[in-house]
A and B are shown apart, each in its own frame.
Chain A
Amino acid sequence: MARTYVDALLVRASEEARLRGARLTEAEHVLLALAGEAEGDAPDLLAPAGLDRRAVQDALRREFEHSLGEAGVSVTDEEVLRPRESRRKPSDIGESGRRVLEVGMASARKRDLGPAHILLGILELKVGTVPRALALAGVDVEDLRARARARVDGA
């Protein structure tokens, strides 16, 4: 676990970013990578909140449309609402992604850094796409955070 888990997670997160045409690996791509895990703490914690990979994608799409609405823009063209995959991998990790890792690592002793710690890092975010998307999807972030915290403390 530990280092190798985070490294593998980041590889999957950067692939999620590429599939969405993003230039940087951001927190939402880490969340998508977590939500795509087949077993373990990630699905154990995310499934009761109704969050699988598809649900996260839907929440991100909603956040996108909602934020366009903030600018007074309403789009019906499916072609531009759907993410477009890029040929290129993201060049770097973005600030929100960096923050997730930083907070996640701070909540773990080196050896047992796993999905629950990363999820805690994601749920600590106060601004940006992920908290907005989770709020719009009606996710009980407090409950999810409490369960992730319990998993981390129990581990």
Chain B
Amino acid sequence: MEDAERDPGAELAAVVAMRKLADRMEDAAVEKAMRAGWSWSDVAQALGVTRQAVHKKHAKRLIEAGVRLRRRK
């Protein structure tokens, strides 16, 4: 596993790490946007997902983090 750079183990580990990175970046970026007063609709458009999806994934966490969320427009 240590010599071949492109062995499946390394490639699969890269996939795992990239997913984790994307998840953490999403959490941080959505929080930043909502703190800056973005609406759920704006965040959903920017992420290319439905408003319901982004709300379901982040609303509780952000409310618990004390982020003041904009009313739906």
Binding site for B on A (CB under 8 A): 21, 63-64, 67-68, 70-71, 73, 75, 79-80, 84, 87, 127-129, 131-132, 135
Question: Are the CB atoms of B13 and A63 closer together than 8 Å?
Answer: yes
- Which of these, B21, B23, B61, contacts A73 with CB under 8 Å? B21
Within 8 A of A (CB), among B1-30: 1-2, 5, 9-18, 20-21, 23-25, 27-28
Closest to B10 in A: A70
Contact A71 B61 (CB under 8 A): no
Q: Are A127 and B9 in contact (CB under 8 A)?
A: yes
**Which B residues are closer than 8 A to A by beta carbons?**
1-2, 5, 9-18, 20-21, 23-25, 27-28, 60-61, 64
CB A113 to nearest CB in B, in angstroms, measures 29
Q: Quick check: B14 and A68 within 8 Å, CB to CB?
A: yes
Asked if A70 and B17 make an inter-chain contact with CB atoms under 8 angstroms apart, the answer reads yes
The distance in angstroms between the C-alpha atoms of A116 and B25, with both chains bound, is 37
Report A29 CB to chain B, min CB distance, Å.
14
| Chain B residues, CB < 8 A from A135 | 1-2
Given the known interface contacts A127-B9, A132-B9, the answer about A67 and B17 at a Cβ–Cβ threshold of 8 Å is yes
* A-B pairs with beta carbons under 8 Å apart, 11 shown: A67-B10, A68-B18, A70-B13, A70-B14, A70-B17, A73-B17, A73-B18, A80-B28, A87-B60, A87-B64, A127-B9
The docked-state distance in angstroms from the alpha carbon of A128 to that of B17 is 11
Q: Provided the pairs A68-B21, A87-B61 are in contact, do residues A132 and B13 lie with their beta carbons within 8 angstroms?
A: yes
Across-interface contacts of A79 in B (CB, < 8 A): 24, 28
Query: Which residues from chain A contact B2 at a C-beta distance below 8 Å?
Result: 135
Contact A84 to B24, CB < 8 A, known contacts A68-B18, A71-B18, A73-B18:
yes
Residue of A nearest to B60 (CB): A87
